[in-house]
Structure 1
Amino acid sequence: MSSKLIPSKPEDVMVIRDLTPNIVTLSVPFNRFGKLRVGGRGTVVKLTSGSLAVFSPVALTQDVQKRISLLGSGKVGYIIAPDMEHHIFVSEWARAFPDAKIIGPEGLPQKRSSTTNDDKIGKEPFAVEFKAGPGKRQTKISPEFDADFEFEFVDAHVNKELVFLYKPDRTLIQADLFFNLPATEQYSRVVDGPKEGALSRIFGAIQSPQGDATKMKRFIWYLVSKGDREGFNDSIRLIDSWDFDTVIPCHGDTIVGDGKEVFRKVFDWHLSGKK
């Protein structure tokens, strides 16, 4: 049940941050499997057209509604679930913005339709469903969206990742491609609650790009990309060709200024094709 994974009062713990004049991040605590302190983050982007796109939506609180009303037109045109896991709040945003296009990877609409006993997850149709295979890079979303973004379907990732580059602000937006733990910002407003346990600390060490990031490299090489490493490497090389200096992950702190350097360190083995 999604209710066990999300804060009961998200308005009390959410951090709303203006990353740039065009980008607002919505950071919340999130305990994966109820134990691992990984945090969660939604990202709202104002397109050049004035329309808004929300990636990995989190709870649509009153504060969030007020903030997006000030961001451009306040009209959300796109709701993006960037992988098979980051979709719990899609329905909540879709009800508030019924004209928005819902976007996600293949298989996610079916997963949502088969979900029972969870009133947060609806059966809304997806306007764009990325398909794996040779033609995946032919997928288009809309002229206004495509003008501002590069995007890649990392179908070789275990979670079927959609990764986006917002070109005007040189910002990479991703879900589970890589973490940046600890999730300092995402837990910064948590006053009460369980302390970080040993399992969470161990996982945090694995999912940290600090130092030489060897533990993270091994995790991605042996677990995340093992199903199709050649295809995974191809996606990573394409993303590496993009121009970005900031990375917004769903789990852990945002990387501002040296995002490309951190990306290249984490994916060094995949860029070179060897470890």
Structure 2
Amino acid sequence: MAVIRLAGGDLFIWSPTALTEGLRAAVESLGTVSHLIAPNSLHHLFLADWKRAFPEARLHAPPGLWEKRRDLAFDHDLADGPMQNWAGEIDQVVMRGNVITTEVVFFHVPSGTVLFTDLLQQLSASRFSGWRALVARWDLMTGPEPAVPRKFRLAFTDRRAARAAIGHVLSWPAKRVLMAHGTPVSEDGRALIRRAFRWLSR
């Protein structure tokens, strides 16, 4: 999860996690929760809790989530290019062509931070043992730097669309990279992204 405070004080909640009382209090101390972002069709489990807690917040859905979560009344579809509410502060592009999920990648302009959800991951090898350790290593999830897991690489059936999207990502002057599953990268973010997606050009 990430919290971005927009220039007007509204909060942009990216990939919201389980809402505890402590987390709610911490978030409320930062500003008004106005936007709840599901960045792909896999990160949506706690949206209903957040919407109940912040009924005035707008729900934003990536491609494919409307059909999966018919119990939620989404306000907007996430597409290429920023919403008017955060234009100039956050840019975004849709990574299409993957049969597992369609992910929206965001770029926070003031901090130079790119936000990936599942398409970049790096987990500690100590989290796994036995056959799970073998699977995690095969899936490129425990390497020396964040990488695109092998299962997601294989699921890109439209590589032309993926290359176009990652080309847009690489146009951003990225300094940092934030992932839902991995330690944040604090420098040379664009170089890391270029290395992580080099396989797309092969």
TM-score by length of 1: 0.66
- Alpha-carbon distance between aligned partners in 2 of 1:107 and 1:265, rounded to the nearest angstrom: 28
Amino acid at match of 1:85: L
Name the SS of the counterpart of 1:157 in structure 2.
Answer: coil
Larger radius of gyration: 1
- 1:172-191 superposed Cα distances (whole Å, 9 cap, x missing partner): 1121121122288xxxxxxx
| Per-residue deviation, 1:141 | 2.2
Shift of 1:207: 1.6
Question: What does 1:233-252 correspond to in 2, within 5 Å?
Answer: 233-252=163-182
Q: 1:254 aligns with which of 171, 184, 187?
A: 184
Q: 2:33 aligns with which of 60, 76, 84?
A: 76
Letter in 1 for 2:177: V
1:153 matched residue in structure 2: 94
Gaps of 5+ in 2: none
**Kindly, what percent of the aligned residue pairs are identical?**
28
Match of 2:128 in 1: 196
Q: 2:128, 2:136 within 8 Å by CA — same for their partners in 1? A: no
Change (3 A) 1:183 1:45: farther
Instruction: State whether residues 183 and 253 of structure 1, in contact with CA within 8 Å, keep that contact through their aligned partners in structure 2.
Output: no
Task: Point out which structure has higher relative CO (alpha carbons under 8 A, 6+ apart).
Answer: 1
Name the structure 2 match of 1:102: 59
Count of residue correspondences: 199
Q: Which runs of 5+ in 1 are unaligned?
A: 1-41, 114-122, 131-135, 185-194
Q: CA RMSD in A?
A: 2.3
Shift of 1:239: 0.4
1:210 matched to 2:140? no
C-alpha distance in structure 2 between counterparts of 1:265 and 1:162, whole Å: 20
In structure 2, the partner of 1:46 is: 5
Change (3 A) 1:261 1:198: farther
Contact persistence 1:102–1:128 (CA under 8 A): yes
- Of 192, 197, 200 in structure 2, the residue corresponding to residue 267 of structure 1 is 197
Amino acid at match of 1:201: A
Which string of whole-angstrom CA distances, capped at 9 and with x for unpartnered residues, describes residues 86-113 of structure 1?
0000011111111111111232122112
> Per-residue displacement from partner, 1:28-74 (whole Å, max 9, x unpaired)?
xxxxxxxxxxxxxx111111111101111101112211211222x2x
Match of 2:77 among 122, 125, 129: 129
